[in-house]
Amino acid sequence: MDSDSPIRVGVLGCASIAHKNVRAIGLADGISLVAVASRSAEKATHFLRECGLPEDSGVRAVGYDELVHDSEVDALYVPLPSGLHAQWVVKAAAAGKHILLEKPLCLHMKELDDMWAAVEKAGVAVLDGTMFMHHPRLEKLREEMDKLGGPLEVNASFSFQATELADGTGGEWMDSDVRGQKDMDGLGSLGDLGWYTTKLALWTFGFELPSGVMAQPGALHNAAGVMKRGGGTLMWSDGRLARMDYSFVNPFIQDATISCKTGTIRMSDFTLPRDELNCEFTVERSPTLSVPDNGPTVVSGEIATLYGLADKPQEARMMETFAQLCADPRGEEAWKWRR
């Protein structure tokens, strides 16, 4: 791999989320799409057409094993169901391929251990596909949290009504989608949506691991035992908290509130920004409550709307970060993302 040439990436699997990341590769610097793999060449070719890539684009449609062992491919983006991650990550690492892996990473700790051992042995880069982590809004959030005395508590919700994605046959979405199948994406809403709320909580507290975790009551599961709705609380020994809920039942919500010592930060689109370049959040400084003897209750404080400005969509910035990690898999930047 020439350090001055773009990282040549192949997409291992044609999941729906891969469409936006193929677009992201096209918008990013330092990385280029060279191949897409599916269980059949016909499906891969159809996927390329859906992404607006003509047959003369130079992007090849291949099979899984062919892509993994392709000497013209430096790295793989893997949007396969999480139940298939371990076997293909181990194969990819053994073939010397850097890996951008969709979340959740796997279903069991043994799989995570196997993947990590393979990546470490091969010395390749690995990055999880959490897009919002790459938007500069987070840098602004960190600055504001520091101004407000540091974070004390996080409350985050991420949900969408899965019935809206039904195939029109009248059957429940989770009966057919991989996110409802125990052997494919058996973590359900926890893995698909709770990943983001947990990531935000850990980022807020500097990736310091909590001292305790508690599941919230009221979880719902489908007939296969896969979670449709759930929640949890992360607890730190000094009293800091993160409360999270994640659901395929509730309407579309992606709200987050970070309570600090002297104020509060709020986002209504913490995962998928309404404007992919100009992401807003609100800061309430020094809120106070007064209850006079005669008259209405008065809530006062300074409320400001701030913005995190990006030159590219967060998924394109993620691709550029991945390209940097591929160029220096064990450098200083790599350790920043190995959390």
Residue-wise pLDDT tens digits, 174-200: 767 787 788 889 999 999 999 999 999
Among 43, 91, 97, 103, which one carries the catalytic annotation? 103
CA distance 205 to 164: 34
* Residue 92 parent element (H or E): helix 85-94
Residue type, 339: R
* Residue 147 parent element (H or E): helix 137-147
What was the pLDDT predicted at 164?
A: 55
* Best mean pLDDT range from 51-65, 158-172, 226-240, 293-307: 226-240
Which stretch of 116-125, 210-219, 329-338 has the lowest confidence by average pLDDT?
329-338
Residue 17 has pLDDT above 60, yes or no: yes
Segment 314-332 shows an average pLDDT of: 94
Catalytic residue check, 103: yes
pLDDT tens figures, 79-88: 999 999 999 9
The runs of H, that is alpha helices, within 18-79 are: 18-27, 41-50, 64-68
Asked if 328 and 295 count as a contact pair (C-beta separation under 8 A), the reply is no
Name the CATH topology of 7-132+314-337. Rossmann fold (3.40.50)
- Domains of the chain, residue spans: 7-132+314-337, 136-309
Segment 214-220 shows an average pLDDT of: 95
DSSP 336: H
Domains 7-132+314-337 and 136-309 share a fold: no
Which among 17, 18, 16, 52 has a CA at the least distance from the CA of 36? Answer: 18
What was the pLDDT predicted at 169?
A: 47
> Measured on CA atoms in the order 74, 22, 82, 195, is the torsion positive or negative?
positive
Whole-prediction pTM: 0.92
CA distance 196 to 158: 8
Asked if 99 and 129 count as a contact pair (C-beta separation under 8 A), the reply is no
What was the pLDDT predicted at 181?
A: 84
Tell whether domain 136-309 is in CATH 3.40.50.2300.
no
CA distance 107 to 86: 9
